[in-house]
Amino acid sequence: MIKNDLFLKALKGETVERPPVWMMRQAGRYLPEFMELRKKYDFFTRCQTPELASEITVQPIRRYGMDAAILFSDILVIPQAMDIEVQMKPNFGPYLPNPIRSQEDLDKVIVPDIQDTLGYVMDAITMTKEKLNDEVPLIGFAGSPWTLLCYCVEGQGSKSFDKARGFCFTQPKAAHELLQKITDTTIAYLKAKVKAGVNAVQIFDSWGGMLSPQDYQEFSWNYIQQIVDALKDEAPVIVFGKGCWFALKEMANSGASAVGVDWTCSAQNARYLTGGNVTLQGNFDPARLLSPPEKIKEMVTQMIRDFGKDKYIVNLGHGILPNIPVENAKAFIDAVKEYKE
Ligand code: CP3
């Protein structure tokens, strides 16, 4: 039994006294105690060492008391496990020296045994659960197959992922084969995470908004739906797509317990597009955390009124930015905890 079950209640659509709150990318980045560990250990060492990953996961909970923790890791551990080399370059971001550009490249990509390749994630979950001591639920996550394809084909971050989209449109057969391999790996991975103890899972489709609504159905949504189908009876699933307001209807009808919304979609529109019945999560503009704390509190209170306190999880509309002052992040969390109807 989890002591603070606000988040799990909201995922079930149950009535709550106030909505739960957590922040995407809350583990790491802007926290001084994280920056200390970051000086000493490189990125994948932090991910692969359960002591470090679990410590980083609980740091924001200790400081702010969010209603859920998210496991410190990265979406790119999946391509790594599939035998695609991934480096995290300081001041640059992800770098994949051998991107997938042809059927020949693709033939080398494996669907791995999860315990052999990603057992360290399960160990990090076990250790995190011990540290959390059932105070708050733990969220596990994965990137969407499309978002992972973006990195695998582009080889690095990009503003528009032209090479990734070009790959899908010039070599659709290969693209679908890669997406299916990622999907199969992701399903096994998320099932293992649930078995290891996570209480919910979130799928991040960070680059879904790069696709047209039709192409989104073909290259992204079909695969996310497979993941939701495979996971929904084992744990609540949250689907989040950045820039994907056009897919909110499918997301709401998918069997997912909650649907993430970014800040370019109003609460009213999000409720309308999702049919009013599914739990929504979002959608504070991450850059708005640069406003003065008093302004943040005022805007968060208004955001809760706009979404309604039930069937709602307070969050940002995308990950927290690295330059957010700790007192501003605190104002965001406190505003929710102080919320009264
Ligand atoms: O709350 C959390 O932060 C949990 C851990 C987490 C990380 N990455 C750690 C990380 C999560 C949930 C992610 C997801 C992730 N990773 C996404 C989807 C969410 C989103 O923001 O869109 C994406 C697209 C990635 C890929 C990735 N990893 C990029 C583009 C970068 C570099 C830029 C940056 O800082 O985000 C990373 C590196 C990364 N992943 C860092 C952290 C804390 C920073 C690098 C470092 O600490 O050395």
Question: What is the rounded (10 degree) CA torsion for 29, 231, 177, 242?
Answer: -40
Supply the DSSP symbol for 264.
T
Q: Of all protein residues, whose CA lies closest to atom 1 belonging to ligand 1?
A: 25
pLDDT tens-place values along the chain, 341 residues long: 999 999 999 999 999 999 999 999 999 888 999 999 999 999 999 999 999 999 999 999 999 999 999 999 999 999 999 999 999 999 999 999 999 999 999 999 999 999 999 999 999 999 999 999 999 999 999 999 999 999 999 999 999 999 999 999 999 999 999 999 999 999 999 999 999 999 999 999 999 999 999 999 999 999 999 999 999 999 999 999 999 999 999 999 999 999 999 999 999 999 999 999 999 999 999 999 999 999 999 999 999 999 999 999 999 999 999 999 999 999 999 999 999 98
Which of 34, 71, 74, 203 to mutate for ligand 1's pocket (most ligand atoms within 8 Å of CB)?
74
Q: What is the pTM of this model?
A: 0.97
pLDDT of residue 48: 98
Name every residue whose Cβ is closer than 8 Å to that of residue 48 and which is 6 or more positions away in sequence: 120
Select from 59, 237, 55 the least CA-distant residue to 144. Answer: 237
Name every residue whose Cβ is closer than 8 Å to that of residue 212 and which is 6 or more positions away in sequence: none
315 Cβ below 6 A of ligand 1: no
What distance in angstroms lies between residue 101's CA and the mean position of ligand 1's atoms? 24
What distance in angstroms lies between residue 330's CA and the mean position of ligand 1's atoms? 21
> Quick check: 313 and 258 in contact, CB under 8 A?
yes
| H/E element, 180 | helix 172-196
> Quick check: 205 and 239 in contact, CB under 8 A?
yes
Question: What is the rounded (10 degree) CA torsion for 311, 317, 322, 326?
Answer: -40
pLDDT of residue 28: 82
From the CA of 23, give the closest atom in ligand 1: 1
Bridge partners of residue 239, in order along the sequence:
203, 259
| H/E element, 237 | strand 237-241
Q: Of all protein residues, whose CA lies closest to atom 25 belonging to ligand 1?
A: 75
Indicate which residues carry an active-site annotation: 25, 29, 38, 74, 151
Q: Of all protein residues, whose CA lies closest to atom 27 belonging to ligand 1?
A: 94
